[in-house]
Amino acid sequence: MIKRALISVWFKDGIVELANFLNEKSVEIISTGGTQKILEKAGIPVTPVSQITGLSSVMDGRVKTLDPKIFGGILADRDNKSHMTDLTNIGGLQIDLIIVNFYPFVQEAVDKKLEFKKAIEYIDIGGPSMIRAAAKNYHSVIPLCDPSLYNDFIKHFNENDGAIPLKVREKYARAVFKMTSEYESAIYSFLSSSDKKLQENFSVDTKKQQEMRYGENPHQKAGFFISHGKSLPWFQHQGKDLSYNNYADLESAINISREFSEPSCTIIKHANPCGFGLGTDNLQAYQRAVSTDPVSYFGGIVGFNTLVTDSLAELLVKPFLECIVAPEFSPAALKIFKKKKNLRVIELNSEYEPDFQMIKSVAGGFLIQDRDSDQGEIEELNIVTRLRPTETQIAALKLGWKLVRYVKSNAIVFANENQLLGVGAGQMSRVDSVKIAVRKSGEAGLNLSGSILASDAFFPFPDSIELAAKTGASAIIQPGGSIKDGEVVKKADELNLSMVMTGTRHFYH
């Protein structure tokens, strides 16, 4: 039976009601600090922890409950005579119920990005120690770590005349270790956030944010999970829940648009950019992005890096689009989007940063790598041909190089200084990717004369260079590194093309 309870909670929701219930059932309540004050204010009798330990709170409250008389009362196995004798000898009391939750480390330290010295003050020591002790000894002690469990506890108490069944105790113990593991993981992640090295042991602690109707295909189960200690970096104004494929495409739309300081628009379809444009404003950028592939953009995900206005919104509601993502929408634009209730409208937090490392399950294990985010190689281009690119061509080469690393390998893009002109993605042969990019740009009615070609990896043969020249391309950017580099450069010189090598490959699988 429950004769004595210790209550020490940060989150006070429902605690007065629960304490009142316990008091009515003649359960003695032990408490400390802010919890004690709230209970006493509500007229509930409370025994101070200090009355049991003989010590008041010290070290600015860091030490209140860390005492053998408290922990002995929690950890003593009621069926072990030696335990009970030891408890008597130290002057401890049996504690039958522990109601504890923790300092809000995530809400106060993580979300508010506190500096280390301030953040550590939200690392709870006594709370996790007591509730873990109770969970370990759940045969004798009942642990309650979450306000959502209070009504469940009251129900079982009433149904069983205070004798909480073992299965229910086990459930409460599981909740404790789930909570403490999440708490410790959040602290670990916070303290490791500045360490960019690949760790020997990699731990990911997540919680399910969304149960999806299905995964990549209707027969696959799926859900969207986020790390404990993190909140969503975006807000959905309207529309259906995001699908599995939406999430993958959404990330590319966000990350590509953020590569550019001038107004930009990215259109993603099946994990590849099928349209991209820069402009003096979002409207011009969108029109250029659509012109890349006026057919394939239907059903795409569209990303912007600046405010979406009402005039742009009027255009965006005309075709069928899955999702629109931007850092800001005008009130008038949001009103216009309501014409299409299923259209997903996502506002991105200005502080959003993609995770530094990426994880993929494969072959019974996991592949973990740094995100391909370094673009420093385009600041000093290595010109390897006799003909040097013009300033306009250099701008186009940089645009193409930023885009090509978001295209599935083997990846080829044609571009000018303002937009994407043609895409060849995911082919087994690089020259086939070139052919597809040329065909797609022709079908869109775009002129490749004077354009640039960007390749995510080296050219194994000069055939792609010859085809690029026939289409009117004037400059090429590629990483180099092939044993045929000499032949490729020679062919570029013969065809009067300029070529730069970056020394960095950007495969994307």
Output the domain CATH number for residue 17.
3.40.50.1380
Residue 228 is a catalytic residue: no
Same domain, 311 and 340: yes
Say if residue 166 is in the same domain as residue 26: yes
Residue 216 lies in a domain: no
6-30 tens-digit pLDDT: 998 888 889 999 999 999 999 999 9
Higher pLDDT, 424 or 376: 424
Q: Which runs of E-coded beta strand occur in 350-495? A: 357-362, 365-370, 382-383, 412-415, 420-424, 452-455, 475-478
Q: Are residues 304 and 368 in the same domain?
A: no
Domain end call among 127, 160, 192: 192
Evaluate whether residue 507 is within a structural domain. Answer: no
- For residue range 329-344, list pLDDT tens digits in order: 999 999 999 999 999 9
Q: For 228-237, 281-290, 394-403, which range has the lowest pLDDT when averaged over its residues?
A: 228-237
In a domain, 387, yes or no: yes
Instruction: Residue 263: give the domain boundaries.
Output: 233-348
Q: Note whether 168 and 241 are same-domain residues.
A: no
Q: Which of 3, 25, 83, 136 is catalytic?
A: 136
**Looking up tokens 């270790």, which residue turns up?**
177
Whether the pLDDT of residue 291 is over 90: the answer is yes
Together in a domain, 149 and 254: no
- With respect to residue 187, please indicate whether it lies within any of the assigned structural domains: yes
Same domain, 19 and 159: yes
Co-location of 337 and 458 in the same domain: no
Domain boundary (136, 160, 192) is at 192
247/63: higher pLDDT: 247
Cβ-in-10-Å burial (0-12, 13-18, 19+) of 365 comes to exposed
- Is the pLDDT at 194 greater than 70? The verdict is no
Domain membership of residue 213 (yes or no) is no
In a domain, 222, yes or no: no
For residue 421, tell me if it sits in a domain. yes
The predicted model gives 478-503 an average pLDDT of: 94
pLDDT band for 394, please (50, 70, 90 cuts): very high
The number of domains in the chain is 3
pLDDT value for 58: 59
CB < 8 Å & 24+ apart, contacts of 375-380:
375/259, 375/401, 375/402, 377/502, 377/503, 377/504, 378/402, 378/502
**Are 325 and 392 contained in the same domain?**
no
Please indicate, yes or no, if residue 90 is contained in any of the structural domains: yes
Domain boundary pick from 348, 382, 408: 348
Whether 246 and 304 map to the same domain: the answer is: yes
Does 270 qualify as catalytic in the annotation?
Answer: yes
Q: Tell me, what's the pLDDT at 143?
A: 93
Say whether both 132 and 40 belong to one domain.
Answer: yes
Which residue among 171, 178, 230, 270 is the active-site one?
270
Q: Are 497 and 469 in contact (CB under 8 A)?
A: yes
End-to-end distance of the chain based on CA atoms, in angstroms? 60
Cα–Cα distance, 463 to 71 (Å, whole number): 76
Residues 80-100: what's their mean pLDDT?
87
Same domain, 146 and 258: no
- pLDDT-above-70 percentage for the chain: 92
Please give the average per-residue pLDDT across 139-149, as a whole number: 92
The predicted structure's pLDDT at residue 451: 96
Backbone angles phi, psi at 493, to 5 degrees: -65, -40
**Contact by Cβ (8 Å): 27, 153:** no
**Residue (of 459, 448, 466) closest to 501 by Cα position:** 459
* Residue 106 pLDDT class (50, 70, 90 cuts): low
Here the CATH number for the domain that contains residue 476 is 3.40.140.20
Instruction: Say if residue 13 is in the same domain as residue 159.
Output: yes
